[in-house]
Structure 1
């Protein structure tokens, strides 16, 4: 069990912070979804009052967050206000900025002028963070790495090599590529100036609240080249910003530097460095998508590979001189080829595809459900070998659809390993059935009560197949009427 598993103690500690700060007992505490960190976030409310309670046992990381929050707010950069911190620094209460990120707004409203203006606001705030707060930042307060130097850059390049490039079965001169990556990391590590770098400046980490933008998840900030952050935002794979926007937003950032009276920037040199960090960011992102998607089988990351490869193709087409290393350039051209992109493209649902997948969860107390398909083909997976959340009071009256149960299964059990095997087996039949024109495939997941493990696994497989193959999937939970739920 990890130390950050949601518990009654966690809830009680956060409720006490809320009551001590606002002078009122909380009425509701809801666990919020998390991504890749071990931090736990809760929305705590009482009437019209709302705050975000955070639990994290990594105290050095918390201290970094508290330090940068205070520094950025001093320079009037929009970040959540930290209301209260527990004595042991594992719990803290902060401002609730709602649930709409800039990425959400872009997806909802599209590439409108009002959305573009929010991107401009974000870059204006970024310039202040990098150049004003960066002047007085104490980089010894950084968590983990203090500087985005040659070693950190080489780590990003190796991340791309091992977790993406090497998984594509493409032949290349490995010794020569390693030598070129070493040269590239030295070149980029010497680029000046070095200011305060956000490190993961993308639209999912920018919240839109009451007409303004706010930064979140800046615990990874360090000293580094400001161009990297701009590249991270403008070349975010899933955002797919048009070239006209990228140029307009980069010009807006340069205007912000002038407005801040930053005089020591050579714009030609700055833009040249920007292009080099665009490429580095694309490669780092592909490494992350390979690790999370191809190795950990997470559907969101698998579906992001296609847009990232399109980004890479566009970059190489516009910048034939980059990268200035022939073996790396050759590898990147092959990785971004039409054939490779088609491998990771989101399939279009066609009228000729007859296959329909039926997925269900069930309780072994009621027996294994019969397959109603014409040819009786399918799978039955037994989830009872996995730790049962229903044994714990905190989850007994919840289901595999609830966020707390999802996090328990993902982090406290071997469910990710189990599902990785399931995805591989089911994908084999899906691809064969599509090619042969079969119409039905059934998949059933069973556990003791048909409420936690089997429900989660069924929901996860449905999402995976829809994301990867864009085929119709029907999902049912056969024991739903007998679920033991809280009042």
Structure 2
């Protein structure tokens, strides 16, 4: 039975009637399927299919416990543990991020968004303190506390899902040393309150006719566990795409601390001493998500968030950060070179459709040349672009020394068979292919449109021609979107592949 039909069945069991309409909604960054079900009297509920049974149990139980404590979370109407389905209260269509995007008409933070943000930060301490008292943390996944192991999981998630996918080089042992120092610093704080885990603008719904009086409601806390207070406010204020200015962040942080002080006694100075560390670990965890959902799965929202995340982290590390993290800082300096880092609040938030850079519709053109070192200089770059590589094939065994190959070229099967059976040739090819593959991917990511590769040998007849042809065929198979032109200069042959 389809998910659509099972949800209708659960709706009927819960409300005693069939829904008149079931509409699919999107779920960014999640494997869940989300639907809106319309009843016969135009009442609406949200239906969710979540493939992770443990995650569903945490969300259902946490929702009921938080709602029982008078906190603004959706009511759970029905739950089918067997089919991984549940029905919850429909909180509307607009998240805090949606409204920020609508209101932002320039580089400045819109004053109209201050009231809802203030309402959110005033409520957060209630979730953390009250939630810490009423929630059953035995249901928390994957662990009941945000402890050393959880922190290292997040840091390794960043390393493997972001750093590895970017291809940036780093010293792994030195980076692990940085991770240990950061974790030791974070564990100087207490772990006794509810840590929402993903407290950011896309997980806060706004209900109400005006922004001045809008009520925030909260979703997606199924990853919550016991942890430090600093983590969630850091998540909200340093939400990469929300791109809050420093002045707004500082105002909201002070308001949060004032609200927290009404509920518990705490050391304000100690809170602020540890705060930058939690900003950083949250930002690194988010970069891991941007890498996995964006670079790996190709989801544009996450790709768009990467430059903002890089800027936040660089700013943090370069502003009297309380822990020495030299390898992490150096690695981000290298990563930043591959992205256009925004310097101010970006108008990209006004209307993502209108303000995004248009997709790269011009395919990458790759020009491959074979040439002779004896018969002239390196191939000229007539585009004035200058980007590319020249590979010297002369260290390899030369077929031209044998009479049977004198009149043949690297395009002939006999020469190709002779060369491809040589171990040195295969080693040379593996290095060439890896270098060019990486360049092609980076050029396409950065929307460059031209790259040149040249192979030179003594006469420009055998080895250079062979590698030019082999590379062209390799690109045709593995990068069909690349327009490849091959020019065998000494053979006076030009071909477009």
Q: TM-score range by the shorter chain?
A: 0.5 to 0.7
Q: Is 1:123 paired with 2:124?
A: no
**Structure 2 vs 1, CA of residues 55 and 288 (structure 1 numbering), >3 Å: closer, same or farther?**
closer
Q: 1:139 aligns with which of 117, 128, 137?
A: 137
Counterpart of 1:101 in structure 2 is 95
Q: 1:225 aligns with which of 225, 228, 240?
A: 228
How big is each residue's C-alpha offset from its partner over 1:111-153, in whole Å with a ceiling of 9 and x where there is no partner?
3333222112222222111111212332112132211111111
Q: Distance in 2 between matches of 1:429 and 1:228?
A: 33
Counterpart of 1:238 in structure 2 is 241
Q: Is 1:70 paired with 2:73?
A: no
**Structure 2 vs 1, CA of residues 269 and 24 (structure 1 numbering), >3 Å: closer, same or farther?**
same
**8 Å contact kept, 1:21–1:84:** yes
Counterpart of 2:189 in structure 1 is 191
**Structure 2 vs 1, CA of residues 222 and 347 (structure 1 numbering), >3 Å: closer, same or farther?**
closer
Once the two structures are TM-superposed, the CA of residue 101 in structure 1 deviates from its matched residue by 0.4
Once the two structures are TM-superposed, the CA of residue 20 in structure 1 deviates from its matched residue by 4.0
Q: Is 1:41 paired with 2:62?
A: no
**8 Å contact kept, 1:145–1:222:** yes
**8 Å contact kept, 2:72–2:218:** yes
Counterpart of 1:164 in structure 2 is 162
**8 Å contact kept, 2:32–2:48:** yes
**8 Å contact kept, 1:201–1:233:** yes
Q: Is 1:431 paired with 2:448?
A: yes
Counterpart of 2:387 in structure 1 is none
Once the two structures are TM-superposed, the CA of residue 23 in structure 1 deviates from its matched residue by 4.1
Q: 2:172 aligns with which of 167, 171, 174?
A: 174
How big is each residue's C-alpha offset from its partner over 1:407-433, in whole Å with a ceiling of 9 and x where there is no partner?
xxxxxxxxxxxxxx9x95993896226
Once the two structures are TM-superposed, the CA of residue 77 in structure 1 deviates from its matched residue by 1.0
What are the residue-to-residue correspondences of 1:44-443 with 2, within 5 Å?
Answer: 44-46=37-39, 47-86=41-80, 88=82, 90-110=84-104, 111-168=109-166, 170-210=168-208, 211-260=214-263, 262-263=264-265, 265-317=266-318, 319-336=319-336, 339-342=337-340, 427=444, 431-432=448-449
**8 Å contact kept, 2:95–2:202:** yes
Q: Which 10-residue stretch deviates more, 219-228 or 181-190?
A: 181-190
**Structure 2 vs 1, CA of residues 248 and 268 (structure 1 numbering), >3 Å: closer, same or farther?**
same
How big is each residue's C-alpha offset from its partner over 1:376-410, in whole Å with a ceiling of 9 and x where there is no partner?
xxxxxxxxxxxxxxxxxxxxxxxxxxxxxxxxxxx
Counterpart of 1:405 in structure 2 is none
**8 Å contact kept, 2:35–2:48:** yes
Count how many residue pairs are aligned between Structure 1 and Structure 2. 357
Structure 1 gap segments, 5+ residues each: 1-6, 359-420, 436-487
Task: Please state whether the residue corresponding to 1:342 is helix, strand or coil.
Answer: coil
Larger radius of gyration: 2
Q: Distance in 2 between matches of 1:238 and 1:429?
A: 20
What is the Cα-based RMSD across aligned positions, in Å?
Answer: 3.3
Once the two structures are TM-superposed, the CA of residue 194 in structure 1 deviates from its matched residue by 2.8
Q: Which 10-residue stretch deviates more, 26-35 or 287-296?
A: 287-296
**8 Å contact kept, 2:125–2:259:** yes
Task: Please state whether the residue corresponding to 1:220 is helix, strand or coil.
Answer: coil
Once the two structures are TM-superposed, the CA of residue 275 in structure 1 deviates from its matched residue by 1.2
